[in-house]
Each structure stands twice: as structure tokens, then as C-alpha cells.
Amino acid sequence: MILLVHMIFGAAVGSAVKSMPIAITLALLSHYFLDTLPHIEYSVVNIETRHWRKTLPDILKILLDFCLGFFLILLLSKNQPIIYICAFIAMLPDGFTILNRAIPNKISAAHDKLHEKIHFLKHKKISNFWRFFNQVIIVIISIILLKP
Ligand SMILES: [Zn+2]
């Protein structure tokens, strides 16, 4: 799932849940839950294959995705620190995955294996429309929960 969706849903969790430890825990778990749903992801194949000279488009996609998510949260939320903390926490699993692809180690490799298993609907025959529509619905629900 793209970063924007993870970020805004994590922010919504931070906005809706009053207890900080519970909000942070749920924001982290929300990443894995959302990844179980059928979704579209953009390719970061150059980062994965360590073709460093070709990584600029991949990095720009990630940066644009991140900036758009951040901008939506800035625009639509109560802008409390917990909202940004939860948005950040909700992205962490993908950060660990990218870290593992770039600089592999035992811990991030174990996480990456689990993270990949969670995407169990990835290879199922589900139309791109539904894979896209799922993410739109999650963003709409998140915006509703973020509203001050
Ligand atoms: Zn993920």
C-alpha cells in the first residue's frame, strides 16, 4: 500500500484514540492490517535491486507520496503531535523493508519476510479498480476521523 494511505490512516488513529500508547500501537498494527487488503503499489524495483544510479525516480515517487500525505494531514487534522507521531509509526514497516533491501541484516530480513507474507492477496486475481478503490475508501474514512 502506498505511504500516503498508511500515513493518513495512522494519523486518523492518532486523532481518534485518546491514549498515546494505545494509539501508537494501533498505528503500527494498522500498517500490517492495511497491507492485508488488496492494493496497488508503485514499483521501487531500482532500490530493491540496488541499481543506485536509477533510483532517483523511485526516490521521487516516495518523496511525493510522503509530501502529499503530510500535506493532507497538515490541512485536515487538529495538528496535534500524536497525529504526526502515529502517521510516522504507521509508515515504519515500509521503512524497515526499504532499509532491508538497501542494507540487509538479520532483523530487518526477518521483518521483511513477515511483511511480505502479510501481502497474501498480492498475487490473487483482483482487479486494479478494486485495489485502487480500497485505498480511496481508506483515505475517505481517515479524513472523516481526522476532522477536528
Ligand atoms: Zn507495508
- 1: CA distance to ligand 1 center in Å? 6
- For residue 13, the CA-to-ligand 1 centroid distance in Å is 17
* Ligand 1 geometric centre to CA of 93 (Å): 6
* Closest to 70 measured CA to CA, from 94, 93, 87: 87
Cα 42 to Cα 20: distance, rounded to the nearest angstrom? 32
Distance 97 CA to ligand 1 centre (A): 8
Question: Rounded CA gap, 21 and 87, in Å?
Answer: 14
Q: Is the pLDDT of residue 133 over 80?
A: yes
Which grid coordinates are listed for 5? Answer: 494511505
| 73-119 tens-digit pLDDT | 999 999 999 999 999 999 999 988 888 877 888 998 999 999 989 88
135 C-alpha to center of ligand 1: Å?
13
| Whether pLDDT at 72 is above 80 | yes
Q: What is the mean pLDDT of the chain?
A: 90
- Has residue 45 got a pLDDT over 90? no
Question: 18 C-alpha vs ligand 1 centroid, how far in Å?
Answer: 25
Domain count, the chain: 1
In percent, how much of the chain has pLDDT > 90?
57
Q: 87 is in which domain, residue-wise?
A: 3-146
